C-alpha cells in the first residue's frame, strides 16, 4: 500500500471514529497533540474539534463520497447531517498528515441545496437530493 493510500485510509478511519462513533479516546491516536485548525467554525487544536463534536446533536452523521490523496495531503468530499442546522453541510476537508497522524486541517463548508434551491438541478452530494435538506 502506498503512503497516499495509507494516509487516505487513516483519515477516513479517523473521521469515522470521531464523528460517527464518538470514540474520543481512540480518536486521540489519530490527531496530533499539536494539531493546527484553520476552520472558521472550529476552535484551535484537536480539543477544539473534539469539543465541537461533543456539543453536536447525538445523531450527527458524517459520510464521504470521495477521498483523494497526494503526498502528505488528503482531501475528503463529505456530508455532515443532523448538525442541528437547517441544512446538512457539504464539506471539502483538507488534511495534512505528519508522522502518521492528522496534523493540520482546512475546510470549505456549504449548506446542502435542496432540489428547489439548486440552480444546476444536480445534487451536491451523491446522485440524489436528500428528502429534507438535512442530508437524510
CA distance 72 to 83: 29
pLDDT of amino acid 74: 98
**pLDDT, tens digit, for every residue of 22-31?**
999 999 999 9
In a domain, 116, yes or no: no
- 81 three-state secondary structure: strand
CA distance 45 to 38: 9
Arithmetic mean of pLDDT, 113-117? 92
| Residue 78 belongs to domain spanning | 3-111
In a domain, 135, yes or no: no
In a domain, 128, yes or no: no
In a domain, 47, yes or no: yes
In a domain, 131, yes or no: no
Arithmetic mean of pLDDT, 114-133? 88
CA nearest to 75, candidates 90, 105, 95:
95
In a domain, 136, yes or no: no
Report the predicted TM-score, pTM, of the whole model to 2 decimal places: 0.93
**pLDDT, tens digit, for every residue of 29-75?**
999 999 999 999 899 999 999 999 999 999 999 999 999 999 999 99
CATH number for the domain that contains residue 44: 3.10.450.50
Arithmetic mean of pLDDT, 79-97? 96
Amino acid at each position: 500500500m502506498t503512503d497516499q493510500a495509507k494516509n487516505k485510509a487513516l483519515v477516513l478511519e479517523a473521521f469515522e471514529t470521531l464523528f460517527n462513533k464518538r470514540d474520543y479516546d481512540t480518536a486521540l491516536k489519530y490527531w496530533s497533540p499539536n494539531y493546527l485548525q484553520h476552520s472558521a467554525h472550529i476552535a484551535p487544536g484537536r480539543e477544539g474539534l473534539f469539543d465541537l463534536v461533543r456539543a453536536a446533536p447525538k445523531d450527527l452523521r458524517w459520510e464521504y463520497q470521495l477521498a483523494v490523496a497526494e503526498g502528505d495531503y488528503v482531501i475528503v468530499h463529505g456530508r455532515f447531517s443532523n448538525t442541528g442546522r437547517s441544512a446538512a453541510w457539504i464539506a471539502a476537508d483538507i488534511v495534512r498528515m505528519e508522522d502518521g497522524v492528522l496534523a493540520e486541517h482546512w475546510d470549505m463548508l456549504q449548506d446542502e441545496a435542496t432540489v428547489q434551491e439548486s440552480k444546476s438541478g444536480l445534487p451536491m452530494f451523491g446522485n440524489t437530493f436528500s428528502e429534507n435538506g438535512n442530508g437524510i
